[in-house]
Structure 1
């Protein structure tokens, strides 16, 4: 098979492709039986295997729905903030996001320049998007902080203790060591702020109507919203 196609870069000439098919293979799957399931998996029967798949997929879908609700709610909350985000906070957020992206790319052996080339993104466009996203994030943060103050949703001592225990388990250190390190690095305040923001988001989530794209009301139990497992959870600096 031979064909011509446009180059990904507009200023480059068209490219010619030649593809030779050297063989065709067909995947032959084994018959799905209780015997095969027992030999190939940890389950005894096809029904058990199928139920496990359904259970895991349902959990994933509910988690995705939970994240979608939180993201949409945060976006709408940010729109209510009419004042511009403070430039100092925007700059700080931009730097944090950029450092996070560069760090993740470095783990994959990719530079930021290569990433922009792969994604076909101009540097100016990348910076504009970074600023826009950072401004939106700051507005959401300011709105959540305002709710914390208005509704007295500040982190309680027992909430801080629960969070410290989670961090200790996550990093494999004892509770006292984690507490001492956070206090020594002045991160306790950041932890309390993070808990307060989650309290505000939970308070807000409990007071809004959740609907699908057609406007049909969605049962909260079907979404399984869990703000304790959000992707913006507090990060412990070891």
Structure 2
């Protein structure tokens, strides 16, 4: 055995000549039953003729049968568990001779845990001010607004234009086409070009105009683009906001008055901020863990994580309307840019799994069952059917892994020293 570097191991393996001969004869026997040669009944062609006519196929099949078997045997003898695909080099395969080859494969690293409790992290229980409560209630009020039709007149700031809108040029892929879009003239969230083009227009008017989207616009396919639109103004509407009173509170749920609504809003804001603050603190703890532990990582793990990150990025682009079929990035450059982050994510995942093993942390059967039941309710499917599907496709294992990761993060947070302040957000660790 030779440990090459990091997680790589290299062996020279010799398969005895008699083992090679037996496997070769077995391959020829199976081949005889399948091939049809002129002048011979099925299965009756001489072995020598089969060997000559199908020498390359026989050689390939013998290698495909023997290499995995002897690599696995060698790994078991050395008490190693390969990850990824082994690499075979220096292959020597001659008739009547032993089969000799060199194999190199990676194994999962042995991680010696250092400090992972009593780490210092920035966190303080969040405060919720009256202004925070008022702002949230105003947001709710805005969402409960009603839009009322206004007698036909020119559009002015504060009006909501009801439009039939279609892009004529400037959009890659499918054009934008919406029949009843509402745009607030002069609105904070309205791209300025729309307000400029539509201000003063009246119901029944048709117009064409260009709109230049900001570079940081939320949809990547429109960011920084100038799009030529055709619009038909179908109507004018104004927003009417409800009054904040006990009736307003009662309409929102099980509240008797505005005071109860305010208290529930305060609790909700506190819960949201507490969750976000704790999540940022947990992310920071994981970053510390990675910095405190130096160990090699199999390239196979890193490559898998890079693929996962790239696939996630493609799904995000597709959700934003980007035509993935026409997306032609420099893949090598993208992979290289993802490498450092992917490496840290893999290290984080391995460390969290090692801590879970050390501290005997894991989800209970009831916790997994509750998560399956929650998903089944969300998907409106029978729990038994969802569980059966999850058992078959591996989702059940991923659910258990996710729950284990969350419990380890909770453990790290509970055993950390918190200092007052606002935690810096860090990228969350990937799960294995």
- What TM-score do you get using the length of structure 1 for normalisation? 0.62
Q: Which residue of 1 aligns with 2:413?
A: 205
Does structure 1 retain, via aligned residues, the 8 Å contact 2:363–2:404? yes
Does structure 1 retain, via aligned residues, the 8 Å contact 2:249–2:261? no
Q: Which residue of 2 aligns with 1:152?
A: 360
Bigger shift: residues 30-39 or 202-211:
30-39
- Do the aligned partners of residues 38 and 211 (structure 1) sit closer, same or farther apart at CA in structure 2, a change above 3 Å counting? closer
Q: CA deviation at 1:68?
A: 0.9
Instruction: Give yes or no for the alignment of 1:143 onto 2:351.
Output: yes
Pairing partner for 1:91 from 293, 303, 307: 303
Instruction: Give yes or no for the alignment of 1:190 onto 2:190.
Output: no
Q: CA deviation at 1:33?
A: 6.3
Instruction: Give yes or no for the alignment of 1:177 onto 2:385.
Output: yes
Cα deviation 1:32-90 (Å, max 9, x = unaligned): 76499579977886655654544443333222212211211221122223013321111
Cα deviation 1:81-100 (Å, max 9, x = unaligned): 30133211111111111111
Pairing partner for 1:68 from 267, 276, 280: 280
Does structure 1 retain, via aligned residues, the 8 Å contact 2:283–2:429? no
Spell out the pairing of 1:213-228 with structure 2 (5 A cutoff).
Answer: 213=421
Separation (CA, whole Å) in 1 of partners of 2:310 and 2:358: 32
Pairing partner for 2:292 from 72, 76, 80: 80
- Do the aligned partners of residues 136 and 48 (structure 1) sit closer, same or farther apart at CA in structure 2, a change above 3 Å counting? same
Does structure 2 retain, via aligned residues, the 8 Å contact 1:33–1:45? no
Separation (CA, whole Å) in 1 of partners of 2:297 and 2:289: 14
Q: CA deviation at 1:195?
A: 2.4
Q: CA deviation at 1:176?
A: 0.7
- Do the aligned partners of residues 233 and 175 (structure 1) sit closer, same or farther apart at CA in structure 2, a change above 3 Å counting? farther
Secondary structure in 1 matching 2:356: helix
Separation (CA, whole Å) in 1 of partners of 2:385 and 2:364: 21
Does structure 1 retain, via aligned residues, the 8 Å contact 2:277–2:422? no
Q: Name the one with the larger strand percent.
A: 2
Separation (CA, whole Å) in 2 of partners of 1:214 and 1:96: 31
Secondary structure in 2 matching 1:76: helix
Alignment gaps of 5+ in structure 2: 1-195, 201-239
- Do the aligned partners of residues 151 and 41 (structure 1) sit closer, same or farther apart at CA in structure 2, a change above 3 Å counting? closer
Q: CA deviation at 1:201?
A: 1.8
- What TM-score do you get using the length of structure 2 for normalisation? 0.37
Q: Name the one with the larger helix percent.
A: 1
Does structure 2 retain, via aligned residues, the 8 Å contact 1:93–1:134? yes
Separation (CA, whole Å) in 2 of partners of 1:154 and 1:33: 47
Does structure 2 retain, via aligned residues, the 8 Å contact 1:37–1:49? no
- Do the aligned partners of residues 131 and 44 (structure 1) sit closer, same or farther apart at CA in structure 2, a change above 3 Å counting? same
- Do the aligned partners of residues 168 and 151 (structure 1) sit closer, same or farther apart at CA in structure 2, a change above 3 Å counting? same
Separation (CA, whole Å) in 2 of partners of 1:94 and 1:148: 24
Instruction: Give yes or no for the alignment of 1:166 onto 2:378.
Output: no
Q: Which residue of 1 aligns with 2:149?
A: none
- Let me know the Cα RMSD of the aligned residues: 4.1
